[in-house]
Structure 1
Amino acid sequence: MTSASASSPSPAPLPAPREVRLRLAGPTPHGRTARRIDGAWWPRSDDLAEELTGLLGVLPHDWGRIDSVLVHGETWPDCPAQLVVAGQAVHVGHNDSPSAPHTVCLLAPGQGRYDLLVVPPATAVEEAGRLMERAVTQGV
């Protein structure tokens, strides 16, 4: 007796998701307003659609559902207007503030705003580690 699965080709395994390189700051004793930066994110490429999808999938549940993301136009010139993450639309817009070219702003209705330092993808491992550590400990 043969089973149907034995005679049909098995589907190719799905590739493992790439690890998101993210460090989040701990809570401050003075509340959220005491810190400018909530964490650091080191994307692996300049493909904003792919990288944001991974990032939004690993954020803490207590941040709520992120429905808008603001990125710097010079850092991310190929910015999609909208992404679909886990079946939900996420608006993506530009924030061209000269004081924040290496940040991404995540907005969750009713929860707040979360700002992440973006470490450029081509940054050396040691330097990226230092930048991420500084962001979560000093808020810059």
Structure 2
Amino acid sequence: MNPTLPHPEPVAAPAARLALKANGASRGLLDGAWWPRSRDLLSELPALTDALHPLWGRITRIAVNPEYWPVIPRKISANGHVVKVGWFTPEIDPHKLLLLSYGTGRWDLLIIPPETGAESAARLMAAASDHDGPPLTASALITADTRHNGTATATATDEPLEPDEAWESEGGAAAAPTAVPHQPSPPDRSGPDSRPIVGM
């Protein structure tokens, strides 16, 4: 006789760690930040689209740069529909995620590397979801935070560096510090016209 084993309760996937700009904020180069728990897009993207669905509507397409993702699925299932996933090089910053919502718009999120510490991730999320900023590309924002001691300056555009700028950014000359301001936790965005920071 085989004893009947209890059925395990389904385990809910953890919520996406996400910070978004408030409604009406100037768009800038980023609309917020996403801090995935792993580099497995097949398991990470459904939680992200679930979190964005009530805020931005139905996400229909997602695009990434493949540099930091070992596998990029062609599609995922989210909110009862299929989301197409693609990759582009060099059109998309390696630290950025592009999302398209049918008939609604496009959003660009900073991707905070999964291995980032909580304090650094909080600073990056706050900077990427700041009302007026950031004036930096996704990769420049990551670089600025990594070098927050002021030893280097991150470029603020997607344009390639001029030879002199490249030399200076690699330590060829002293540069004015450009760093993400230290903020131990993301700012409170709980007002009536704001979007939440979730999953922290």
- Is TM (by shorter chain) over 0.5? yes
Question: Residue 60 of structure 1: CA displacement?
Answer: 4.6
Give 1:116's aligned residue: 109
Superposition CA RMSD, Å: 2.0
Deviation at 1:109, TM superposition (A): 1.5
Structure 1 portions without partners, runs of 5+: 1-7
Is contact 2:64–2:92 with CA below 8 Å preserved after alignment?
no
Aligned partners of 1:28 and 1:35 also within 8 Å: no
The size of the alignment, in residue pairs, is: 131
TM-score (norm 1): 0.84
1:76-120 alpha-carbon deviations (Å, 9 max, x no partner): 241011111132111000022366110101101110001110000
> When the two structures are superposed, what TM-score results if normalisation uses the length of structure 2?
0.60
Runs of 4+ in structure 1 deviating by more than 3 angstroms, as ranges, are none
The 3 A distance-change label for structure 1 pair 50 and 43 is same
- Give unmatched runs, 5+ long, in structure 2: 137-200
Question: In the aligned structure 2, how far is the partner of 1:48 from the partner of 1:85?
Answer: 12
User: Bigger relative contact order, structure 1 or 2, given CA contacts below 8 A and separation 6+?
Assistant: 1
| Percent identity of equivalent pairs | 38
CA 10–128 in structure 1, closer or farther in 2 if over 3 Å, else same: same
Alignment of 1:96-135 (within 5 A): 96-97=89-90, 100-135=93-128
Higher strand share: 1
- Give the residue type in structure 1 aligned to 2:24: T
Distance 1:29 1:121, change over 3 A: closer
How far the C-alpha of 1:62 sits from its partner, in A, is 4.1
Hey, what's the Cα distance between the residues in 2 that align with 1:25 and 1:60? 15
Aligned to 2:15: 19
